[in-house]
Structure 1
Amino acid sequence: MKAPVFSVNYSGESASLPRHWSEHKEQAVGYWQVRLLLLLFRLLPVYFLRFLAFPVGFFYYIFSKKGRDESRRYLKKVAAFKRGDKKPPRSPLRHILAFSITLVEKVESWGGKFFLDRVHFHDDDIRDLKNRLESGEGAFLICSHLGNAELLRALAGFNRTGVSREIPVTSVMEGSVTAHFNRMLRELNPQSEIRTVDARNFGPDTAVLLQDRLAAGELVVIAGDRTSINTRNKHFLFPFLGEAAPFAYGPFFLAALLNAPVYFVFALRRKDLSLKSEYDMLVRKSTVSFDGPRKEREDRIRELARNFAATLEEYCKKYPYQWYNFYDFWAKPEDHTGV
């Protein structure tokens, strides 16, 4: 069957749905695991925690068949596009070790120990974003599970963005993640300007709240590479690494609803495995505008989502070991005949 260019499904839930990403145990981190990580962060030097990430990642690799299998599934797809490389990406161990290091760096950044001199900006749309923030205007950021999305949010929380004013950030997250995330933030940085909104309880009041925050010059951030827990069948289907994959409708609909400039943001480690990491911060401004006729809005939402999927695919090929979705990303709730 030919992979479709895109399709959208608005049908009801099916009893035979494949397991959603939120249902995998390895995606959920309990409060006590978070507390243990915070305790180690306070007691041990960051350098030691980075070193500890290697045996922890190796332990996960040995005892998690699911993690190994899903890593192989993904890396096999990436390797098909890199057949000319001397070392195509085929190592689940390297993939999982890179993920372990990123977990430490997330805590490190929220603890205020990751500084701007280790983040490298480029001659891309970062200038446009900085100019917008300097002028007191807000922006809508779409990130992913490629690299370390927490890095930019944490830098903003500690006023380390290179912008001369404080920039509060609101993250739109699934409720299953929000509780532990909020607790961790309060533990690490009680004065953090990061706030979270539960995507499961999103309504008209929430939209007005986010519009007010954008108008006040703040950032609103959401991930675009995981489908919604509540509306799993409401998604686009785009080619991704050689096979059609579902991309959530919600983040891109929200971008249209808020009608603010949209930027795709990726924080990617220069070396997959490093005890002292440095990151490239890559920013692309979307050219999709929602100022046109309302009847064209759905087409523009689809275009924005398709552009995000293509950009994510591009960077996955360049940084294959830094995409951390350890589940079957290509699983589809129903058969799609495509268009």
Structure 2
Amino acid sequence: MKHWTEEKEIGKVWKIYFSRAIYKIFGRNLMIIYLIFPVSFVYFTYYFISGRVKASKDFLKRMSKYNKKIKSNIFYCYKHLVSFIVTVCEKFAAWNGDIPLKDLTLKTKEDYDKIIDLLNKKKGIIILFAHLGNIELLKALAAINEGNPIQNCKINIVMDFNMNKNVNIMIASAKNSKDNFVDFIDAKNIGPETIISMESKLNNGEIIAIAGDRTSSKSDKFNLVNFLGDDAPFPYGAFLIPVLLKYPTYYFFALRENDKIIPKRYDFYIYESKIISNIQNKKINKNDKSKIVLELTKEFADIVEKTVIKYPYQWYNMYYFWAE
């Protein structure tokens, strides 16, 4: 079975520029219509012919055991792919700040208030996220503070620069915007110096955001954790960083309300990691480190599982996720 990094990225560079032009000229709603009709048909045909639709079908089959509304037939696979394609528009909207605050619904106010308190005091936090929903809306996290947005709160997203090259084009254009406060850290080059740099950013009151649901390569160290009924590989390094740094760590998800393709609102979920909270004032020896990383991974996988059951069409690991 291929690792996700070995899958060919769908789409050409010019299509990204073309899509961005459509977004700028016609706006968010017309771009969504463009993505749903001509674009989704083309990509679904490719997915079907290439056999990649099997990954979606397998995921939906697993989901049907937990969510009786879900089926694993071609219609539901198509709906899953359409949801995935529409995220292109959401990325543009998020980077441009075109999703108004009134469209964001905060679901976990207590943990959100903790984050706001920390950021107001210029204390940094770590956020672990999954390819579930719209991570780009993390940009709005500090702005929904009841009309009192936190100013100059920088977000540092850890990502693999060698993969998702088309997404990097959107990132490059976003970094040129005058109000940009998002930066990126190459996941491939994380070492002692990077960890020191991360600690410095956290000390400055910044956010470090790390994807916790993808290994960077076949050779990456991982932990096998039960997820939707079977063991799945979760990256060891993504969870080692919070354990080493011991800064307040939260799980973040921004999802379309009611799992709709074209939503009126977005749901924000923020959960504090109890594992990290419990070790913040403790010294960790080498023997305990791996055990704590595993516990943190299980905590993350459990929260992701509960969330993806509620929002199944917004799961965007479009490859076979589970271990062989």
**Which residue of 123, 134, 137 corresponds with 1:137?**
123
Residue 223 (structure 1) aligns with: 211
Gaps of 5+ in 1: 1-17, 333-339
Residue 297 (structure 1) aligns with: 289
Go from structure 1 to structure 2 and tell me whether the alpha carbon gap of 1:269 and 1:124 turns closer, same or farther (over 3 Å shift): farther
Residue correspondence of structure 1 range 272-291 to structure 2 within 5 A: 272-289=259-276, 290=279, 291=282
CA–CA distance in 2 between the matches of 1:30 and 1:294?
48
Kept in 2: contact 1:139–1:261 (CA 8 A): yes
Residue 115 (structure 1) aligns with: 100
CA–CA distance in 2 between the matches of 1:275 and 1:180?
23
Residue 173 (structure 2) aligns with: 187
Shift of 1:253: 0.6
Gaps of 5+ in 2: none
CA–CA distance in 2 between the matches of 1:92 and 1:124?
36
Residue 231 (structure 2) aligns with: 244
Residue correspondence of structure 1 range 60-71 to structure 2 within 5 A: 60-65=43-48, 66-71=51-56
Kept in 2: contact 1:145–1:324 (CA 8 A): yes
Residue 265 (structure 1) aligns with: 252
Residue correspondence of structure 1 range 144-163 to structure 2 within 5 A: 144-152=130-138, 154-155=139-140, 160-162=143-145, 163=149
Residue correspondence of structure 1 range 75-90 to structure 2 within 5 A: 75-82=60-67, 85=68, 87-90=69-72
TM-score normalised by L of structure 2: 0.88
CA–CA distance in 1 between the matches of 2:217 and 2:98?
33
Residue 50 (structure 1) aligns with: 32
TM-score normalised by L of structure 1: 0.84
**Which residue of 199, 210, 225 corresponds with 1:211?**
199
**Which residue of 319, 332, 335 corresponds with 2:311?**
319
Higher-helix-fraction structure:
2
Residue 6 (structure 1) aligns with: none
> Aligned to 2:209, what secondary structure does the other structure show?
strand
Aligned length: 307
CA–CA distance in 1 between the matches of 2:158 and 2:181?
14
Percent identical: 30
Instruction: Tell me which of the two structures has the higher relative contact order, counting C-alpha pairs closer than 8 angstroms and 6 or more residues apart.
Output: 1
Residue 5 (structure 1) aligns with: none
Matched, 1:25 2:8: yes
Residue 307 (structure 1) aligns with: 299
> Aligned to 2:132, what secondary structure does the other structure show?
coil
Kept in 2: contact 1:89–1:321 (CA 8 A): no
Coordinate RMSD, CA, aligned: 2.0
Equivalent residue letter for 1:49: M
Shift of 1:89: 4.2
